[in-house]
Amino acid sequence: MIVQGEAHLSVTLAEELIAKGLTIESLIQDGLTAALQSLNAKCTNEEFNLLEIMLAGRAMMAVLDNVVARHLPPSKTVQPGADRTIVLGTIEGDIHELGKHVVKMLLRSSGYRVIDIGKDIGPEEFVNRAIREGAGYIGVSSLLTTTIPSITRIRELLKKAGRSDIKLIAGGGAIQQTSKDDLNVDFVAQTAFDIFHYLKGLKSKA
């Protein structure tokens, strides 16, 4: 239901399953996480398109906001730490946001706290917000190669602030043609799921 992008039906079905005794943990594990894995498989097989993933993301968010959030015990609603917090934005000189929105939906669906700081954002703001929000990661999006100098500055500013521990991830459009050295970042994502896997990999190493 989620993978097919049926938001209303997904919420109704989730409510019914909970009423029948399904636990929230099972709903997340066997419903939402399984849906996410199925989308991931499509992405790996180049079956991915923005429309389908946005519809699935919308359905997933509807279940999270309308069903999961209402049934979660208070202890589970504690704000995630740095290892599950990411500041996302489109760098200055660019106003494209769609890719960023898709990443936001995917990460939120996977339990990350995502702080979307918007579009046309200067490198200083990325760093300031990441420090202020206690984020472990910065995700910088851009469609245009003209923004590369601004992206490379984020690392310099992080170093200056003594926060080289914050990981930098870049993705989107022309940026995909570059390397992490070109951009002075830790990772260049080719797809929205790449970021998800990268973060997961970091967690398992920690």
Partner 1 sequence: MNNAMTSFERVLNTLKGKPKDRVPVVPETFGVTAKTCGYSIYEYVTDASKLAESQLKARSLAGHDILFSFADLSVESEATGCKLSYKEDQYPAVAGPVAVNAGDIKNRDLPDPWKDGRMPVVLEASSRLRDAVKDTCIVAGCMMGPLSLAGQMMGLEHLLYQMADDPGAVDEVLDFTEEVARRYGMALLKAGVHCHVIFDPVASPIVVPHEMFRKLELPRLRRLFSEFRRAGSLISWLSIAGNTRKILPFYREANVELATVDYTVPVSEAFDLLGTVAVNGNMMPFCFVSCSPEEIKEAALKCLEETVERGNFLLGSGCEVPVEADISSVKALVEASQEFAVVGNNR
Query: Smallest distance from the beta carbon of 190 to partner 1, in angstroms?
Result: 10
Rule CB under 8 A: say whether 182 interacts with partner 1. Answer: yes
Rule CB under 8 A: say whether 46 interacts with partner 1. Answer: yes
Query: Smallest distance from the beta carbon of 103 to partner 1, in angstroms?
Result: 13
Query: Smallest distance from the beta carbon of 116 to partner 1, in angstroms?
Result: 13
User: How many amino acids of this chain bind partner 1 (CB under 8 A)?
Assistant: 21
Rule CB under 8 A: say whether 44 interacts with partner 1. Answer: no
Rule CB under 8 A: say whether 101 interacts with partner 1. Answer: yes
CB contact at 8 A, 140 and 168? yes
- Burial grade of 100 (CB within 10 A; 0-12, 13-18, 19 or more): buried
List the structure tokens of 183: 């951009």
List the structure tokens of 137: 């990661």
Which helix (H) or strand (E) segment holds residue 170: the answer is strand 167-171
Residues 6+ apart with CB under 8 A from 51: none
Rule CB under 8 A: say whether 41 interacts with partner 1. Answer: no
Please give the Cα distance from 195 to 179 (Å, whole number): 15
Enumerate binding residues for partner 1 (CB under 8 A). Answer: 5, 46, 48-52, 54-55, 58, 93, 95, 98, 101, 144-146, 174, 177-178, 182
